[in-house]
């Protein structure tokens, strides 16, 4: 499970990096080609520099085609949303969780089947949840209880600000542990990419950053509460499909801006 998790975290990071670089690089190439076109127009017909300019333009266009391929790769990393039941999703992961947590940890699942459906990429939510469960396990080397629960919550105007969420109906998917918890400094940095306290070969520091990114993409939020020596509660707030707070239908990733 850890290997699969590392792999998915790395692909996510590579996808983001690739998309960002390809996008910026494409903009630079557009500027290069534009300038070359101008110079070309100013040269008299038959000028011996024309061939050089044409070579440069051709190379820049090839570079542009390459960035299109990189953008296509990055887009494959994007979400593929479908209507899903959180209870069914958690249920389907039960044996993986048991296996991941080992004999010293008791898994307590409480996800009512009556929750409203959410519109998510189930693979991504599964990976996010696995990340949270692995973190819970790693915080409890001597065992304890990991509680995975889901509740449907209406966020009212009065609650919205303190939760940093928009008003509307959400499914709050929660992973609660009784582990060592985090001090304020660790908690503040926990969702930073590559921030880890687990040491070489044990953590990538990409887990919570991935969960945080997913929550934002869904129009929800990753909420972390922790007390040193007592435990941590990670809550993934996902807007209910059709609830007022649903994310915009087509969130335009930055990487798509230079598609044409
Ligand atoms: P990784 O698990 O690879 O270190 P994460 O982004 O998932 O990366 O977590 C970053 C850091 O946040 C961890 O190294 C740890 O210090 C802290 N952390 C995350 N979850 C928990 C938890 N449930 N209990 C205590 N600390 C946690």
Q: Give tens-digit pLDDT for 19-77.
A: 777 877 888 888 899 899 999 999 999 999 999 999 999 999 999 888 888 777 776 65
pLDDT of the residue at 259 = 39
Strand-pair category, 168-176 with 231-239: antiparallel
Q: Which of the two residues, 5 and 43, has the higher pLDDT score?
A: 43
Closest atom of ligand 1 relative to the 179 alpha carbon = 24
The pick from 190, 198, 230 for probing ligand 1's pocket by mutation, whose C-beta has the most ligand atoms within 8 angstroms, reads 190
pLDDT of the residue at 78 = 57
pTM score > 0.95 for this model? no
Q: What is the mean pLDDT of residues 226-235?
A: 98
CA atoms within 13 A on the CB side of 192: 10
The pick from 135, 174, 230 for probing ligand 1's pocket by mutation, whose C-beta has the most ligand atoms within 8 angstroms, reads 135
Q: Report the chain's mean pLDDT, rounded to a whole number.
A: 87
Q: What is the mean pLDDT of residues 205-209?
A: 87
CA of 92 from ligand 1 middle (Å) equals 24
Residue 257 has pLDDT above 60, yes or no: no
Residue 9 has pLDDT above 80, yes or no: no
Residue 246 has pLDDT above 70, yes or no: no
CA of 247 from ligand 1 middle (Å) equals 27
CA of 181 from ligand 1 middle (Å) equals 9
* CB under 8 A, 24+ apart: contacts of 161-168: 163/221, 163/223, 163/237, 164/221, 164/223, 165/220, 165/221, 165/237, 165/245, 166/219, 166/244, 166/245, 167/244, 167/245, 168/239, 168/240, 168/243, 168/244, 168/245, 168/246
pLDDT of the residue at 77 = 59
């Amino acid at each position: 499970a850890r290997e699969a998790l590392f792999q998915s975290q790395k692909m996510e990071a590579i996808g983001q990096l690739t998309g960002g670089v390809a996008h910026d690089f494409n903009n630079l190439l557009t500027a290069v080609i534009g300038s070359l076109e101008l110079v070309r127009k100013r040269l008299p017909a038959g000028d011996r520099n024309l061939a050089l300019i044409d070579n440069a333009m051709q190379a820049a266009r090839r570079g542009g085609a390459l960035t299109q391929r990189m953008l296509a790769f990055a887009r494959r990393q994007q979400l593929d949303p479908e209507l899903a039941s959180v209870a069914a999703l958690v249920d389907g992961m039960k044996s993986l969780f048991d296996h991941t947590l080992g004999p010293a940890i008791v898994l307590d699942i409480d996800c009512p089947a009556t929750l409203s459906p959410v519109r998510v990429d189930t693979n991504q939510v599964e990976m996010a949840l696995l990340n949270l469960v692995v973190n819970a396990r790693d915080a409890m080397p001597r065992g304890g209880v990991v509680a995975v629960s889901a509740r449907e919550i209406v966020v009212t105007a009065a609650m919205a600000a303190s939760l940093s969420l928009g008003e509307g109906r959400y499914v709050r998917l929660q992973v609660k542990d009784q582990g060592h918890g985090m001090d304020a400094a660790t908690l503040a940095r926990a969702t930073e990419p590559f921030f880890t306290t687990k040491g070489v070969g044990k953590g990538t520091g990409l887990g919570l950053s991935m969960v945080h990114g997913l929550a934002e993409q869904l129009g929800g939020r990753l909420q972390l509460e922790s007390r040193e020596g007592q435990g941590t509660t990670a809550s993934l707030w996902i807007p209910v499909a059709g609830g007022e707070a649903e994310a915009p239908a087509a969130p335009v990733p930055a990487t798509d801006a230079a598609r044409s």
